[in-house]
Amino acid sequence: MAFLTKLSKASSLARACLSRCMSNLPENTVYGGPKPQTSNQRVTLNQLKQKYRRGEPITVVTAYDYPSAVHLDTAGIDICLVGDSASMVVHGHDTTLPISLEEMLVHCRAVARGADRPLLVGDLPFGTYETNTVQAVDTAARFLKEGGMDAIKLEGGSPARITAAKAIVEAGIAVIGHVGLTPQAISVLGGFRPQGKNISSAIKVSFLVLFTLPVNMCICLFSEHVDLVWFLQVVETAMALQEAGCFSVVLECLPAPVAAAATSALQIPTIGIGAGPFCSGQVLVYHDLLGMLQHPHHAKVTPKFCKHYARVGDVINKALLEYKEAVTNGSFPGPSHSPYKMNADDVNGFFEELEKLGLHQAASAATEAAEKMNTEQ
């Protein structure tokens, strides 16, 4: 019996040693608890909350592919938004409506491979979350499982959208809300324009939120104070999205005082885009801030609030014209861009083999090319 006990203890010790040897992590890190996060690791919601509490502005930029994601990562941008604006600036559509869920997931996966540091947020595209909460949660889950995102963003503040946001949060997925100009509502709004700027536009917006207002406020929709009603509705909608569990709200195309009021009323960060300087952070479209798109199609959809921090489009156009000229006049590729060499013996051997195959013209061309490259070098 004592022998069996010793054997059992020996076996347990052997299994423990084997387990440690099989681990792909150093022994002192296994079950060691959470480790301090370094600046090279992914930005977390907790870090964003701390930044918000300290009053430090949050930076957000859109990205749609691996190169743009790498640029955002290198610059230390806080949040990388894979926006449905890809429909316009990447796919060439006039609105955000046509882009599909599958297309968005392709963009998300490419961005996730390129950005290691920013919090990754994916835009739920039009038609993928409006039907019911089951559809909304399923779509949001695909952004995390298949797209590699950390969170999602959805537009609008109707009761259905707020319910969808709440359901997604309850499913364990972080959500950013979006109020003000909501591009996915272009069919109702009749075009991209700042909302609540005048009575006419405010009435159009008010129809979107008609069923969220008390009866006495619905009557006011047709009064001279209709724009003020909508401004209040923006603030109330942002607060409803906060109540639903959103960790941040985008405020788009709003007068600065309205955005300031919303920011003050909320206890979560607001991210402004065309909403003035009084938000908790700002977001711009990658192509817009770089001044990348000079084509007339993009000129008509570039918003007035965008600031060009470069004119990359001019640089690209100049480079392409220079490349075309260099190829046309034969200066590219020269010796410095033709790095793969053959020594004289290889050239002669290659010539002889081509001659044996009856490819006399090809053999002569190879010899002449070798002589020309040697002369130019």
* Predicted local confidence at residue 173, as pLDDT: 98
pTM for the model stands at: 0.78
What SS3 state is found at 128? coil
State how far the alpha carbon of 172 is from the alpha carbons of 50, 166, 167, 304, in Å. 21, 10, 9, 37
* Predicted local confidence at residue 300, as pLDDT: 57
Can you state the angle between helices 226-243 and 256-265, rounded to 10 degrees? 30
Report the b/e string of 17-42 with b at 16+ CB within 10 A: eeeeeeeeeeeeeeeeeeeeeeeeee
Which pairs count as long-range contacts for 66-72, CB under 8 Å and 24+ apart, including other chains? Answer: 66/110, 66/111, 66/113, 66/114, 67/114, 68/111, 68/114, 68/286, 69/110, 69/111, 69/112, 69/113, 69/114, 69/115, 70/114, 70/115, 71/286, 72/115, 72/118, 72/286
Look at residue 92 and tell me whether its pLDDT is greater than 80.
yes
Residue 29 banded pLDDT, cuts 50, 70, 90: very low
Query: What would the 3-class secondary structure string for 145-196 be?
Result: HCCCCCEEECCCCCHHHHHHHHHHHHCCCEEEEEEECCHHHHHHHCCCCCCC
Among all chains, which residue has been given the structure tokens 């996730």? Answer: 112
For 198, the token pair is 């005048």
**Superfamily of 45-290 according to CATH:** Phosphoenolpyruvate-binding domains (3.20.20.60)
* 214 alpha carbon, distance to own chain's centre: 37
36 or 57: whose pLDDT is higher?
57
Residue pLDDT, tens place only, 252-300: 999 999 999 999 999 999 999 999 999 999 999 999 999 987 555 455 5
Residue 22 banded pLDDT, cuts 50, 70, 90: very low
* Predicted local confidence at residue 186, as pLDDT: 55
The residues carrying an active-site annotation are 252
User: Half-sphere exposure of 341 toward its Cβ, with a 13 Å CA cutoff?
Assistant: 10
Look at residue 105 and tell me whether its pLDDT is greater than 90.
yes
Question: Are 251 and 271 spatial neighbours (Cβ–Cβ below 8 Å)?
Answer: yes
* Predicted local confidence at residue 5, as pLDDT: 52
Residue pLDDT, tens place only, 163-173: 999 999 999 99
Look at residue 49 and tell me whether its pLDDT is greater than 90.
yes
The predicted model gives 316-334 an average pLDDT of 94
Look at residue 226 and tell me whether its pLDDT is greater than 50.
no
309 or 33: whose pLDDT is higher?
309
Domain positions in the chain: 45-290, 334-376
* Predicted local confidence at residue 1, as pLDDT: 52
DSSP assigned state of 36: P
For 329, the token pair is 């006049």
Residue 39 banded pLDDT, cuts 50, 70, 90: low
DSSP assigned state of 309: S
Sign of the Cα torsion 92, 93, 99, 102 reads negative
d(CA 376, CA 365): 16
* Predicted local confidence at residue 302, as pLDDT: 63
Share of the chain above pLDDT 90, in %: 64
Residue pLDDT, tens place only, 113-165: 999 999 999 999 999 999 999 999 999 999 999 999 999 999 988 999 999 99
* Predicted local confidence at residue 26, as pLDDT: 45
Look at residue 206 and tell me whether its pLDDT is greater than 50.
no
What residue ranges in 30-88 does DSSP mark as E strands?
58-62, 79-82
Query: In whole numbers, what is the pLDDT of the chain averaged over residues?
Result: 82
- Pairing mode, if any, of strands 79-82 and 58-62? parallel
The predicted model gives 344-371 an average pLDDT of 94
* Predicted local confidence at residue 301, as pLDDT: 56
